Amino acid sequence: MCGITGIINPKEQNVIKKMADAIRHRGPDDDGYFTDEHVALGMRRLSIIDLARGKQPITSADGRFLIFFNGEIYNYKELRAELGDYEFKTDSDTEVILAGFKKWGEKVLPRLRGMFAFAIYDTRDKKIFLVRDFFGIKPLYYLVEPKESSLSAHGPRGKFANNDDSFSILAFSSEIKSFLVIPEFKPEVNNSAVFNYLSFQYNPLTETFFKNVFKLPPAHYMTIDVKTGRAEMKKYWQFEFKQNNALDERETAEEILKVMRDSVAHHMIADVPVGSFLSGGIDSSIIATLMQKVRGENPPSHKASEGQGKIKTFTVGFESLSEGNEAKETAEPLGTDHREITIGAEEYFKALPKVVWHFDEPVADPSALGLYFLAREAAKHVKVVLSGEGADELFGGYNIYLEPFARRKITWLPRFILRTIASMPFRGRNYAERALSKLEDWYIGNASVFQENEIKKLWQDDIPRFNLGTLYEKVKGLSDSTKMQYIDINTWLVGDILAKADKMTMAHSLELRVPFLDIRVAHFVATLPDRFKWRGSTTKYLLREAFKKILPESVRRRKKLGFPTPIRDWLTRDRVDVYDTILENPYIKSHMDVTYIKKLITDHTFKRTDNSRKIYLLLVLAVWYNVFIENSKLKINTNGHS
């Protein structure tokens, strides 16, 4: 696990060292660099596999190609066997990628089983090959220099389609903060990203909160000609549902157990200690249970884990709201070495500026700070943790996926009755409103903070909202619940779930692995029909059935937990510091209706309505602006310390 970075035609050769130092938290164990007349490339290494010889960059035997790699390839031993004629210098997965690329070119990508973002440099043809993994587990950003008005909120226009000269690639990195040390880069706010953030609670666009900085989308690669900065981007994989209604329930449940056990076993491959997050819900309980079984059958051989027969598990709780008891229901029968931490409101809000710095872009998910503190604790004991991200999206675990089934009970009512119900001021009115609408008209993903009518009151400019129409078109023949899954897999999963998983753990130099997002698991889960995902009021039905004889019954039947945060109760009238941070922020005052925001705060603090998510979203935006644009109020330096 590492952080990679690079700059094309740098005006200062020493800037690459500064770029790598800005992401030192991603790899405190080692660094590596390469420079020639066209590029400067660098990385910070967190040593996980082949600790002694895995130093990067690794160069091909003929000296033509070199690689900088962030991630893990879990089937690297199998691939290495296929590449038997290659003269390997290390036992690392990094060199296996390079050997595979040399033999198969970009066709090596579908063969990889893991999480990855890497750069391969062709020193002869002067081209860089940048890649991001299937689901976007690992981040990768690039900075462009526009030569005319050619950029849209969905990425550079023309360049990839028409191969014109409207802009050139300047740099790339695992985190945006690397670009801040480039003298030519002046951070400016991208209003389109902010506008969409108000609805989604994260930025769903390809362009980031910083003008001219973009994300390489998941399952894409980019080839850059470093002599010109011109680039070509292509998609190499797409998740598709291929539901098989002929599957047998019992046999499929057995296959789920087999596939998940294989995934967990591969995700435990490491030369350092490996632990697990344990929220108390079924997903993390599955991971911890399978880890303990694998550990019992295959004790670790590396010295760092000698005598460690127990898996180390970690849980976070908050004052007045804790999952400790639920997590113990899994940890105690398994006999894991379990640790729980509890976070209070003062510690939570004090950490927010540092957390926002690590995020690069605002993500208004209150649970992210829980993950930040959890990773800090886990990093004291292990170097790698496994976690349950992706299970809800792939297996259908969110409760809202059940709504289309429930709506069938009222959609037979005449529309004038539904409209009457929807106009009444009671808790279920939104449910009735959605029953009157097509899914495509209201479902934008798991998070929907400010509604469109509310944004019209809040935002003072006219900017279009991110259009999900293309995604909906790809699943138009499937059920509404499956459409919801597809939207979340392509937006919410990468923009919120995986973003916080990567940034919050790497903030503490901790590698997080996600066995549910293994490519083999994904291919298998794509075949599950709806009846295997949802049954009555039960989500992830067959996943629960598969572990019927393995998990405690209370755990197996438990509703989704996640890392709940009592942010509603913490945003009291006494939190003047929070409200002043929002109301005095220059960006918010210049782009939003402050009077409307004051009403949101007043209504919440007097308990007229729960506006905690809206207030928290605005708080994170204000802190982000202070940290990255003003950079004076909070005095955050490039090491993330206040």
Any idea which residues carry the catalytic annotation? 2
**What 3 state SS string does 173-230 have?**
ECCHHHHHHCCCCCCCECHHHHHHHHHHCCCCCCECCECCEEECCCCEEEEEECCCCC
Q: Residue 564 has which token pair? A: 């709940």
- Give the CB-side neighbour count of residue 373, counting CA atoms within 13 A: 23
Give me the long-range contacts of 21-24 (CB less than 8 A, separation at least 24): 21/638, 22/175, 22/177, 22/178, 22/180, 22/181, 22/638, 23/173, 23/174, 23/175, 23/177, 23/178, 24/639
Q: Answer for the pair 390, 518: CB distance below 8 angstroms, yes or no.
A: no
Q: Answer for the pair 374, 277: CB distance below 8 angstroms, yes or no.
A: yes
The DSSP code sequence of 593-620 is -HHHHHHHHHHHHTTSS--HHHHHHHHH
Q: Residue 300 has which token pair? A: 């670790």
3-state DSSP call for residue 73?
Answer: strand
- The answer to whether the bond into 300 is cis (omega within 30° of 0) is no
Q: Residue 181 has which token pair? A: 């040390």
Q: Residue 513 has which token pair? A: 């692995």
- Give the residue carrying structure tokens 């295959």: 298
Give me the long-range contacts of 247-254 (CB less than 8 A, separation at least 24): 247/527, 247/528, 247/529, 247/532, 249/532, 249/542, 249/545, 252/528, 252/532, 252/542, 253/542, 253/545, 253/546, 254/546
Spell out the residues 6+ positions from residue 457 whose beta carbon is closer than 8 angstroms to its own: 593, 596
The DSSP code sequence of 128-183 is EEEEE-SS--S--EEEEEESSS-EETTEESSHHHH--SSEEEEEEESSGGGGGGST
**What 3 state SS string does 201-214 have?**
CCCCCCECCECCEE
d(CA 456, CA 223): 41
d(CA 282, CA 262): 18
d(CA 286, CA 59): 39
d(CA 241, CA 523): 9
Q: Answer for the pair 520, 113: CB distance below 8 angstroms, yes or no.
A: yes
Q: Answer for the pair 169, 201: CB distance below 8 angstroms, yes or no.
A: no
Q: Residue 385 has which token pair? A: 């943790």
Q: Answer for the pair 79, 103: CB distance below 8 angstroms, yes or no.
A: no
3-state DSSP call for residue 340?
Answer: strand
Q: Answer for the pair 169, 142: CB distance below 8 angstroms, yes or no.
A: yes
